[in-house]
Structure 1
Amino acid sequence: MSELQPKEWGPVAALPGAAAAAVLAWTSWCFTAAAAPSVTVTVAGVGVLLLAACAVYFVRVGGSGGFFGTLFLALGLLAAVATADQTTARGEVATCVVRDVQARNQESQGEGPASKTVYRLALDCPGGYPAELKDGPEAEAGAEIRVSYDPGRRVSPAAEGGTSPWTAGVCAVVLLALSTGLAGRRRPAA
């Protein structure tokens, strides 16, 4: 087994950060631009960036480190997309009446809480939008709730103050750091 030479390791180690910057720039532009592309183009763009970064990383690092590094890279880039979504300004706030509540228990696999209750709220809002919150707070039918939304409908509405990018952002940083660390590990000789 031979170590990556410093001149080889530098570009590979920089790949997770560069890929994350490209994904963040693309998704931020898609979520905020006045003439943003369609959802199909947005998702295709993220898919192309993610697959290209993962393919280059896997080929350059190789071995089990390349496999796990590629996995961490892909998950880190998806967490970066979630961060961009959660940091996108939802410029309007409406006071809506909860028309219907659907509660569903979501079972957990592995460690952690045994289950989580997910609430889907059907809403009556001024102007008719937003019509629902897919992962809303606990509420009863007839209650009023303040909802932040993007009038351009590029990002999903959320309960006012309900989106925090910290969890997704920290996950992205940790996963990308693990991917970068694995790039510096040994790889099989070619």
Structure 2
Amino acid sequence: MTQEEPQVRWLGAAVPAVAAVLVYAWARWCFGGSEAPSATVALVGGAALVLGAAAVYLLPVRGAGGLFGALFLALGLLSIVVAVEQTAVRGEVAVCVVREVHTKVEPSFGEGATEKTVHRLALDCPGGYPDELKDAPPSVSRGAELRIAYDAGRRVSPAVAGATSPWKPALSALLLLGLSTVLAAGRSRSQA
């Protein structure tokens, strides 16, 4: 075993942790920084980080384990972005009246697939913003009053006050990044 092999072995296993920190910092800055970038720069920069991490991961980790590990890595990094978005400060709260309720059934394909029902609310809020709420709770009817939390800078989507929780995407990120790390450590070790 040469001296370079142990370094290569752990490079793949270190990529998920390093990439997670970088994507977290990038998303935190994009969603909450006082001098946040435009949406285009945020999206392109985030995509470059996720795809770059997957490419770096594939250098030392080959085969099917590398492919699945890179996929788990990318999905874990995207889950981090969702968790950061869920914790982003929505510093303003407005009491809004539901003007209209739009319900759309999205078909699913495949054996045993179930349809997904999406609810979107058209809102009348003081000051005119927010004017709609996507992925609204299904129990809301026309004329109802809702407390809507929103970011005046419009960097994150409005949400029903108190309804966002980062736990599900954060746990998904931990699981996916953990699987990616285990695959990298196992594949790299067997290749050495």
Partner of 1:178 in structure 2? 179
Question: Which runs of 5 or more structure 1 residues have no equivalent in the other structure?
Answer: none
User: What's 2:94 paired with?
Assistant: 94
SS at match of 1:114: coil
Change in 2 beyond 3 A, CA 1:169/1:189: closer
Task: Kindly state the Cα deviation for residue 111 of structure 1 after the two structures are TM-superposed.
Answer: 8.9
Which amino acid in 1 is paired with 2:13? A
User: How many residues were matched structurally?
Assistant: 187
Distance 1:31 1:170 in 2: 20
Give the equivalent residue in structure 2 for 1:120.
120
Give the secondary-structure state (helix, strand or coil) at the position aligned to 1:60. Answer: coil
Matches within 5 A, 1:1-190: 5-108=5-108, 114-138=114-138, 139-186=140-187
CA deviation after TM superposition for structure 1 residue 184, in Å = 1.4
Aligned equivalents of 2:170, 2:111: Cα separation in 1: 22
Distance, in Å, in 2 between the alignment partners of 1:83 and 1:19 is: 15
Give percent identity, aligned residues only: 55
Could you list the per-position Cα deviations for residues 120-173 of structure 1 after superposition, in whole angstroms to 9, with x for gaps in the alignment?
000000000000001111211111111000011110000111111111111111
Q: For 2:36, give the aligned amino acid.
A: A
**Worse overlay, 4-13 or 61-70:** 4-13
Distance 1:32 1:108, change over 3 A: same
Q: SS where residue 104 of structure 1 aligns?
A: strand
Contact residue 148 and residue 159 of structure 2 kept, 8 A: yes
Report the alpha carbon displacement of residue 110 of structure 1 after superposing the two structures with TM.
6.5
Change (3 A) 1:112 1:5: farther
Distance 1:33-1:147 versus aligned 2 partners, 3 A rule: same
Alpha carbons of 1:177 and 1:135: their partners in 2 closer, same or farther (altered >3 Å)? same
Question: Gapped runs of 5+ residues in structure 2?
Answer: none
- Which letter maps to 2:86? Q
SS at match of 1:184: helix
CA-based RMSD of the aligned residues comes to: 2.1
Q: CA deviation at 1:109?
A: 5.4
Asked if structure 1 preserves the Cα contact closer than 8 Å seen for 2:19 and 2:53, the reply is yes
AA aligned to 2:20 is A
C-alpha spacing 1:97/1:113, structure 2 compared with 1 (3 Å):
farther
Output the TM-score relative to the length of structure 1: 0.91
Q: Partner of 1:57: helix, strand, or coil?
A: helix
Give distance in 2, aligned partners of 1:111 and 1:83.
31
